[in-house]
Structure 1
Amino acid sequence: MESFATDLDVLREIVGAWIFSPILSGFFAVILYFIFKKRLNKAKIHLLHLDFYTRWGLLIVGAFGAYSLGANNIANVMGVFTGIMEIPNYDLGFLTFTGAQQLFLLGGIAISVGVVTYSKRVMLTVGSNIMDISPIGAFIVVLASSTTLFVFASSNLKDFLIMLNLPSLPLVPVSSSQAVVGAVLGLGLAKGGRNINFKLLGKIGVGWILTPITAALISFILLFFMQNVFIRSVI
């Protein structure tokens, strides 16, 4: 029976990205906050015009956020299947879906269902329970977190940085929730650290630690039952 060893180098990259992504997102949020603060104070835009620009800005960065989420987090949903399943191409005549594209489509639908059904409480936690966020603050948070997801998913950006002999980030899936929370925390610290619910942040941090541990335990238990109860070879 063929055995598969864990690639510790890849695992280290994933764990490193898991730790670094909220820090990077918070850094982006701090930079964006001071840029927009300086620009808005200097521009003195009328309140109604500012509201109009903010609404359109939120729509644009929201679309960018959805794109970055799909580009990065689809690996969390369907990435494990790409190397073990051979799915034939599906030909519609005018359009052909490869096996990988079919998996991506299924994963995208699953993410959409999750957004519609169970995302409200999570959104309320991030959007108001950690700290009160203004519309412009929301723009900064979404842009910072989306940029973080994008830099961990863009092969073109990685190749460009390598061409310039600059350090590049690994192309690994990172947590969108960690990126958003990091951006919210960065924004709050840039504003002086007032009104940040650090108690809730502590609970979120514990959740970040317990999530992979819980997933590993569940995976171990399922593997044990498959191999010892159902006598099924998994690997």
Structure 2
Amino acid sequence: MDLTVVVVLVIALALFFDFTNGFHDTANAMATPIATGALKPKVAVALAAVLNLVGAFLSTEVAKTISGGLIKEGDGGVQILPEMIFAGLIGAIVWNLLTWLFGLPSSSSHALFGGLIGAAVVGAGFGVVDYSVLVSKVILPALVAPLVAGLVAFVATRLAYAITRMPSDSTQSGVRGRFRYGQIFSSSLVALAHGTNDAQKTMGVITLTLIASGLQPTGSGPEFWVIITCALAIALGTYMGGWRIIRTLGAGLTEVKPAQGFAAETSTAATILASSHLGFALSTTQVASGSVIGSGLGRKGASVRWRTAGRIGLGWLMTLPASAIVGALAALVVGIGPVGLVIDLVAGVAVIVTIFVISRRNNVDSKNALSEVDAATIAVRTPKATRRKRKAVK
């Protein structure tokens, strides 16, 4: 198959992944402000879309990690073919949409990394992956960042409640309720941070494709047109597709208070922005979930539902290897030749269409459309939930 056709297909598929990333992760930024009434749903999603667009232009360090770090470059450039990158994207998109459909806690970012690594290993062997970059820029940040964000959110929540401590409950409630207005700023900061980190991953994939096909010099960063198209794709996905997740916000987030939401969002944004500057390819889902759990624990009398938190963690751990397996299978099919590429394309489109058809037929409820951040909130047993449980036992 003509190289130009393959490159165009890869770019189109990468932009579609960027779109799915947008609607998959909308709730990361806007879950808590909608739950506390700080923003109306339509306004929140539109604001997130605009700030995702803006954030994509602020840095390209994460894109360089993917285009020039994760996959090794040899004397002749990147050691994998565009066809393998195509297969990796198939793995990422399929896993991303499956987890969206069934409400499984997952990371769009790790789905992308897993798909690319699985396909690269099949196409060029285990030596093609730079494991030092994988560990230092992907795995370690994935383990450390949620803990750091959670700790910061915990401390911030404790400070917020301490500063606003009043003798009168009604006065106390009114003062803390003003954090709702601060959430407009903090949630906007999260949306901006999401654009600086997640949109860049697709920029990196497209740049990697152009380098692998000889259309761009080895070691170079994303072209301006790549930045623009990726920014538009993630912004459009954020605006168009987040409703399936956002409709479930009332279930798990009803006990999130404005002070908690403000603390969680601020710590999430700070962690992601700092990591983007350093080139760490974070999962915004994991960071936001860590912040929500930390802020929940910051409320006096709260405790962790460890079983629920364990299920969330298991979903995170599954994503990278599962998408790597799907990417590897797609790469094996691509190895057949041009016919394999067509088979992958047809099969991928069929799976995508099937998932969307099923999503329209099934009712949205807490079992099949629970957002990752929403799931994190129910991993914390708040004082109100504890009192309800005690009454039920009595």
TM-score (norm 1): 0.73
Report Cα offsets for 1:176-229 as digits up to 9, x if no partner.
Answer: 110111011112222256365444333221211111112111211121111124
1:62 aligned residue (187, 190, 209): 187
Distance across 2 between alignment mates of 1:74 and 1:193 = 38
Distance across 1 between alignment mates of 2:319 and 2:253 = 20
Distance across 1 between alignment mates of 2:141 and 2:149 = 11
Tell me which residue corresponds to 2:150. 26
Tell me which residue corresponds to 2:198. 73
How far the C-alpha of 1:137 sits from its partner, in A, is 1.1
Report Cα offsets for 1:53-90 as digits up to 9, x if no partner.
Answer: 423311111221111111112223322222332789xx
Distance across 2 between alignment mates of 1:39 and 1:30 = 14
The answer to whether the 8 A contact 1:130-1:198 is kept is no
Tell me which residue corresponds to 1:161. none
Distance across 2 between alignment mates of 1:204 and 1:62 = 22
The answer to whether the 8 A contact 1:126-1:181 is kept is no
Tell me which residue corresponds to 2:134. 11
Q: What letter is aligned with 1:181?
A: S
1:48-197 aligned at under 5 Å gives the runs 51=177, 53-85=178-210, 100-123=223-246, 129=252, 132-154=255-277, 170-191=278-299, 194=302, 196-197=304-305
Distance across 2 between alignment mates of 1:188 and 1:135 = 11
The answer to whether the 8 A contact 1:28-1:144 is kept is yes
The alpha-carbon distance between structure 1 residues 56 and 192, as it changes in their structure 2 partners (threshold 3 A), is: closer
The answer to whether the 8 A contact 2:186-2:265 is kept is yes
The answer to whether the 8 A contact 1:145-1:183 is kept is yes
Q: What letter is aligned with 1:113?
A: L
How far the C-alpha of 1:175 sits from its partner, in A, is 0.6
Distance across 2 between alignment mates of 1:49 and 1:195 = 25
Distance across 1 between alignment mates of 2:247 and 2:300 = 22
Distance across 2 between alignment mates of 1:43 and 1:147 = 33
The answer to whether the 8 A contact 1:130-1:197 is kept is no
Moved more, 16-25 or 113-122: 113-122
Q: What letter is aligned with 2:311?
A: K
Distance across 2 between alignment mates of 1:138 and 1:128 = 16
Distance across 2 between alignment mates of 1:216 and 1:6 = 13
Distance across 2 between alignment mates of 1:112 and 1:138 = 23
RMSD between aligned residues: 3.3
Distance across 1 between alignment mates of 2:166 and 2:253 = 29
Q: What letter is aligned with 1:69?
A: H
The alpha-carbon distance between structure 1 residues 76 and 99, as it changes in their structure 2 partners (threshold 3 A), is: closer
The alpha-carbon distance between structure 1 residues 222 and 64, as it changes in their structure 2 partners (threshold 3 A), is: same
Tell me which residue corresponds to 2:318. 210
Q: What letter is aligned with 1:228?
A: I
Tell me which residue corresponds to 1:221. 329
Distance across 1 between alignment mates of 2:250 and 2:261 = 8
Aligned residues: 208
The answer to whether the 8 A contact 1:18-1:175 is kept is yes
Moved more, 196-205 or 174-183: 196-205
The alpha-carbon distance between structure 1 residues 46 and 204, as it changes in their structure 2 partners (threshold 3 A), is: closer
Distance across 2 between alignment mates of 1:141 and 1:62 = 9
Give the match's secondary structure for 1:178. Answer: helix
Distance across 1 between alignment mates of 2:197 and 2:204 = 10
Distance across 2 between alignment mates of 1:181 and 1:21 = 11
TM-score (norm 2): 0.46
